[in-house]
Each structure stands twice: as structure tokens, then as C-alpha cells.
Structure 1
Amino acid sequence: MSHSSAVPGYRQLFALTGPWFAPVAFVARLPLAMAQLGSLLLVSGVTGSYGAGGLTAGALAVANAVVAPLAGALADRVGQRPVLLVQSIGAALALLALVLTATPGRPLVLVLGCAAIAGALLPQAGTLARVRWRLLASRAERPRLTETAFAYEGAADEASFVLGPALVGLLAALVAPAGALLVAAALVVVFGLAFALHPSATLTRPDRSLPTTTGGGPLLPPGLAVLLLAMLGVGMVFGSVQTGNSVLATAAGEPGLTGGLHALLGVGSVLAGLLVPALPARWTLRRRLLVSAAALLVLSLPLLAVSTLLPLSVVLLVLGLSIAPTMITLFSLVAEVAPPQRITTALTLLAGTTGVGYALGSGLAGRLADWGGHTPAYAVTVAAGALAAGMALAAQRSASVPQRVADRVDAGASGPTTTR
């Protein structure tokens, strides 16, 4: 697997959309990455209670995980543009309301309500971009570019969840936590609307030529449940690792390093994700999932032995190498399993499952950490890796999970379809 063999695929991929699509879609996902930590810092600072801040951040995250598939289903029915227009404006207003209501003396239930509305409306730009890339690659008759697109989007998601919290921390230090949420509101208006109005959004209009029987098929086709459980495991890895990192860093007298430690996981994941298109084309999606999920389990085991921050840093960087390949392959498989008329629904459901897993992993690891410190918290990470690996093994035996081998990109194929 080499960096140079992946570069031509990325060049051809970005030629499909023109120069603005990728940067607009990337910035459009930052508000979601910023809002959870921003709301936690804001409410904790105003109330003096980390519990209230955690409840607010949790309300935002859970609402997004629950409502995103519903928004995806609506986008499948009417197209992405109208859904994104409403989401972008509504999310900005809800974030503004959250800032205005998070003041001393205001009922916490009002703050939680604003946070939940903001979470429900914040668009999952990365998932919606994947749908557009898939349609563009299909029209250009370059199916291998779908794999490249999902690899790029996986890396972009990881980068956003490193950059977003870092931006929140910087703004909270220089201005105030409220300033971070106001910036998130401004970004979702400007870049959310730009993403909605990009010409590629017209590709997601319902295709009336598709058989109506597909549209009436089950929301959870056979095989999708196994893939969702695998992604639940990946989400639990994120949540439990962050909790374990916080406990270990605090015990070492360096609680401020928690964010940096978690960022190392993202750095390894971004690097591996960008190189996924260079994997041998003979590897089936099932095989890729099994190898990457098994690596997730094996590379998480050293967490049970770490007791200082330097070894932990190395383990996290290496563990990150298994995360993006696992997530990218899961998105590719779900795109194959889902009925064409419900592709956005399925992909947003998969993305929402990550959030549910994060909350579950964080909660379990926190309870165990209260009992026994960082090692029991990291035990949740290992168990989550075992869940992902077990579901990957189950996918090998499922006739409803496709084997597909991605076609290689043919540099001499017909020119790309450009939407400008």
C-alpha cells in the first residue's frame, strides 16, 4: 500500500465536483464537531456544574443521533437541498437560543431543550457528501472512485473531530465558550447553505425511474443490522478511549493533555484513511472489514498495560490506524446493502450509530473508571473492539452482505462528470 498509488484516484475524484465542493463540505461539518464540547463548556461555566454541562452535551449528541436518520429519510424523499436549507437556518437559530438561555437562573430544562433542538437540526454534512460522491462516481462510470470518496470522507470526518474541539478550546480561551457556539452558528449558516446550494445537491432528487418495489422494501434489509452493530463497537471505542485518556491524564497531573491524547487517535486514523484507496483491488469489502476490525481489537489490547502517558501516546497513534479503514469499509458495505431509494437513510443511520456507541462507551467506561481507574475504562475499549470484530466475522458468513471487489480506476476511461 503506497501513498503514490492513491494520489491519481484523489485527483480524479476532485475533478468530478470542481474546486469548491470538498472544502465547503468539510467546513459544513465543523459545527457538529464543535457544538458538543462548546455546549458542555458553556453550561458548565455558567452553572458551575459539570453534570449540567454533560447533560446538555449529551442531549445535543443523542438528539443528533436519533433525528439524523429521519432527516436522511426525508432527503431520500425530497432531495438534500430543501432539507439542508431548513437544517442550516434552524440549527443556527437553535445554537443562538442555547447561548441566550444558558444564563444564571434559567431552568436547566430550557437549556436542554435548546441543545436537543440544535442537535436534531445540525446536518451531518459528511454523510450527505458520501451520497453525492457515490452518485457522481456512478454517473462517471468509475465505481472505484466511490471507495476513494469514502476514504476521503472518513479522513475528513476524523480531521473535523480533531479540528472542531481544538477550535472550541481556542475560542473559549480567547473569547468565551459562548463565542465558540456563535462561531459554530455562523459556520452552519454560511457553509451549510453553500453546501445545500452546490450544484451537486440536484443529483439527490428522487429518481422516479427506480422500481417502486425497492422503495417499499424494508428499512433494515438483511445484513444491515450486523454492520450497524459493528459501527456501534467503533463508536464505543471512541467514547471509552476518551474517558480512559481523561482518567489517566488526570492521575498523571496533566488533565489538559486529554484533548491532545485523543487527537493522536484521530491523526493515525486520518493517515490510514487516506491510504485506503491504495489497498489491492482484489480485496473484497468483507475481507477488508474483517482485517481492519481484527486490527482494531488486537491494537486495543496494549491499552490494558499502559500506566504512563508516553506509552499511551504511542498506543493511541497506532490504534488509530485501524479505525478509519474499519469505518470506511462499513460505509461502503452499507451503501451496497441499502436500497437505492434509501441510501441517505441508511448512511445517516450508520453515522448516528457511531454517536450512540460513543455515548454508551463513555458512560460504561466512566462508571468502571470510578470503580477502578483507567484500566477498567480501557477494558470497555477492548470489549468494543471485540464487538466490531465479531460482527465483521458474522458479515463473512452472511449471504446478504456483499463480497464486491472494487474495480480499479482506469486512467484512460472517459472524462469525469463535472458539476460546477
Structure 2
Amino acid sequence: MSAVASYRALLRTVGPAYVLVAFLGRIPLAMSQLGALVMVSEVSGRYALGGAAAGSLAIANAVGAPIAGMLADRIGQRPVVLVQSLVGAAGLAALVAVTTPTAPAWLIVTVAAATGLMLPQVGPLARVRWRPITAQDRPGPSDQRRLIDAAFSYEGAADEASFVLGPALIGVLGVLLDPAGAVLAAAVILAVFGTWFGIHPTAQLVAKAASVVEDGRLWSVAFGVLIVAQFFVGTLFGSIQTGSTVLATAAGQAGLAGLIHACLGIGSVIAGLSITALPERFLYSTRMLAAATALFLFAIPLWWVDSLGALVAVISVLGFAVAPYMISNFALAGIIVPITKVGTAMTFLAAATGLGYATGAGIAGRLADAGGHQPAFGVTIAAAWGALLLAIIANSTLRRARVVS
């Protein structure tokens, strides 16, 4: 089955409406952090408070994601996603309401954290649905493997696209409306499409598949490797965004930082959609190692970047290694974790990425204060080296990994 045929088969199975809903349902999470940062900073006149609100939202979401994943595995995705979508949307609206020039900082940060805790991880939960979805028509093992490859390739591309489109929507709506209006728009999108994703019939397929499979253990050495791997790629994201912002600001083009960072996502989307064309004999562990090698090699030139044009060129190329690396990690998790724990596993990986992002941005920011964009990009290179070293050391472990009962 060719890559194009695989994507067509997926669309025939679930219909284009589900693909659209699952994509739009993850946009509010991508909008929330930047939306909080811009809105709180502008209203309060304090960038430090804006950063604190955005940071608390991101960290709380990283903490809450695995908890929501565990609940989804136990009681089903439908009730968890419905509650998170409605309460998360209300939280975004509440954050707008409490963000006033005279509001105490603790109140804004607390509401931001409570909101982040409830925002659903639609992307990881959508990944969980594909295995039972592709099993509906009882395809042969080879065809199902190709369909799952296509599904995970699409999900990786969709995640990257959402983290390009989300911040872009905040920028556009912030101009057309204002930052508060942009955050309210995120709340509306979440209430509509998050709820729709929750009630979609595919949510019940996950519950049925889990009910007929014996329970098993989540944690293993291989799964721990994947957690660390996602932490490294999150660190790479955070440090790149920080370094790009520093260089763009130094060049007098601070407003271009978001668009420059989006170049990383464009290459990643293209690579993510293409990876399903790889032959089945190219194992996920091998793909992870190859992608980690590319991450490191493509990141090295960042050390010598000193102009926005050069930065765009290097980041665009680096993006082609990002999606293959992440897709391999999530696909491996789907293989080595029992189906009754896959929701938990996917949200743990998402949480590790978020914590890595916060770590990378924090370390790169401190180094940038002292030495500009170059040491910030040094964090990016170090994260890519860590990803490569981990892939080399753990390759044989991941090759042998099977579901732990």
C-alpha cells in the first residue's frame, strides 16, 4: 500500500470531518501559552507577569496531561475530554476576566495555572484512537502497519501545523480584535471542537478495544527512554524559540520571531507527511536514530548564525528532522505500552515535551542575557546531541522492546 493510498484509506475509514475536528481541537492549546503571555503583558504592562502567567499555564498543563491520560484509559476519553474542553474554555474566559491593570499578580497566575491544568491534550489522545480505528475493517497485519504509520505521520504533521497556526492566530486576532479577544476565540474553539472531539464515535472504539485486552505495566526501560527523548526535543523547541527571539530583537525585527520559528514547523510538517513512504523493514528504533543524527547535524550550523536570513535557512532545514524523530517516539510508545495504558503514555510524552520546552527556554534565556543568541542556540545543539547520544545508547533496547505485561 502506497503512502497516498494509506492516507486515502484513513480518510475513508473516519471521514474528513473527524480529521478536521481532531486538528482544530488541538489549536487552543497551541494558542493558550502565547495568548496568555501577550494579553497579560499588555494589560498589566509587566512582561515578567506575562511570562509567569504563560509559564504557570504550560507547567500546569504538563502536570495535568498524564493525569487526564490515566483517567481516559480508566473511564474512557469521552467524559474526560468533554469536562476538560468545557472547563478549559471557561478557564480561558476567566483568565481574560481577571486580567486587569489592577488585578493582583497571584490571582492572574493562579487562574492561568488552573486553566492549564484542564486544557485537553487532543493530539496525544487522537493518536490513541488510530489503532482501533484502523482495525475496524480487519486489514492484514502489513496493511494495518502501513495505515498506523500513515496515521502517526499525519498526527506528527498535525501537531507541528497546530503549533505554527496557533501562535499565528493569536497574532492575527490580536491585531483584528485585541489580545483578550484572541484568548476568547481560543476558548470558543475549544468549547466547540474539543467537545465535538469528545463526543465523536471514535472515542468509544478506544474504550471497546481496551475492554478486551488484558491490563499491563506502563513503565519500562524503553518507555523511560522515550520520555527522556521527548524532553530533549522539547528543550530544542524552547531554546530555538528563545534564540530566534533574541536574534530578531537584536536585528530590530522582534515581531518576526514567531514567523521565523514557524519555519521549523513547515519543514517538520512536510517530513511528517512523507515518512509513511518508508519501507516497513526500516524499524522505528532505526528511524529514531536516523532522525536524531539529522537533528544534531542540522543543528550545528546554528552556532555560526548571525543574520535572520541565515537563521531562516538553518531552521527550515532542521525542521525536516523534527517530525520523524517525534513520530518514531510516539509510534514506539504505541508498540511497547499495553493498549489499556496508551492514553497515559501519549500524554506523558506530551508532558515531557512541555517540560523540556520550559527548561530549554529558561536556560537559553539566562544564557542569552549574558551572551546573546549564540549561547542560546548552544542549548539547542546540546539538546540535539543529547537526543543522538540517547538514541545510540538505547537503540538495542528499543529494538527488543515489547509490551510489558
User: What TM-score comes out, normalization by structure 1 length?
Assistant: 0.92
> What's 2:241 paired with?
242
Question: 1:77-103, CA deviations, whole angstroms, 9 ceiling, x for partnerless residues?
Answer: 000000011001100111111010001
SS at match of 2:14: coil
Match of 1:96 among 93, 98, 102: 93
Unaligned runs of 5+ in 2: none
Residue 240 of structure 2 contacts residue 376 of structure 2 at CA under 8 Å; is this kept in 1?
A: yes
Q: Distance in 2 between matches of 1:399 and 1:357?
A: 21
> What's 1:63 paired with?
60
Q: Distance in 2 between matches of 1:300 and 1:387?
A: 12
> What's 2:46 paired with?
49
> What's 1:287 paired with?
286
Unaligned runs of 5+ in 1: 405-420
Q: How does 1:389-404 map to 2 (within 5 A)?
A: 389-398=388-397, 401-402=400-401
Shift of 1:400: 7.0
Q: How does 1:2-401 map to 2 (within 5 A)?
A: 5-140=2-137, 141=139, 142-205=144-207, 207-212=210-215, 214=216, 217=217, 219-398=218-397, 401=400
Q: Which amino acid aligns with 1:376?
A: P
Shift of 1:110: 1.1
Residue 335 of structure 2 contacts residue 402 of structure 2 at CA under 8 Å; is this kept in 1?
A: no
Q: Distance in 2 between matches of 1:139 and 1:393?
A: 37
Residue 285 of structure 1 contacts residue 402 of structure 1 at CA under 8 Å; is this kept in 2?
A: no
Task: Pick closer, same or farther for the CA change 1:246–1:311 going to 2, 3 Å.
Answer: same
Structure 1 or 2: more helix by fraction: 2
Q: Which amino acid aligns with 1:29?
A: R
Question: 1:271-306, CA deviations, whole angstroms, 9 ceiling, x for partnerless residues?
Answer: 110101011222011111100011001100000011
Question: 1:374-407, CA deviations, whole angstroms, 9 ceiling, x for partnerless residues?
Answer: 1100000000001111111122121675499xxx
Q: Distance in 2 between matches of 1:97 and 1:84?
A: 19
Q: Distance in 2 between matches of 1:109 and 1:401?
A: 49
Q: Which amino acid aligns with 1:26?
A: F
Moved more, 140-149 or 28-37: 140-149
Q: Distance in 1 between matches of 2:368 and 2:85?
A: 38
After the TM superposition, which parts of structure 1 deviate over 2 Å for at least 4 consecutive aligned residues? 138-141, 206-212, 399-404
Residue 296 of structure 1 contacts residue 323 of structure 1 at CA under 8 Å; is this kept in 2?
A: yes
Q: Distance in 2 between matches of 1:245 and 1:110?
A: 31
Q: Distance in 2 between matches of 1:238 and 1:42?
A: 22
Residue 285 of structure 2 contacts residue 399 of structure 2 at CA under 8 Å; is this kept in 1?
A: no
Q: Distance in 1 between matches of 2:400 and 2:356?
A: 22
Q: Which amino acid aligns with 2:269?
A: V
Question: 1:335-368, CA deviations, whole angstroms, 9 ceiling, x for partnerless residues?
Answer: 1111221110001100111111100000010111
Residue 336 of structure 2 contacts residue 402 of structure 2 at CA under 8 Å; is this kept in 1?
A: no
Shift of 1:5: 4.3
The number of aligned residues is 397
Shift of 1:8: 1.1
Task: Pick closer, same or farther for the CA change 1:357–1:200 going to 2, 3 Å.
Answer: same
Question: 1:209-249, CA deviations, whole angstroms, 9 ceiling, x for partnerless residues?
Answer: 3224x2xx3x3222111111111111111000011111111
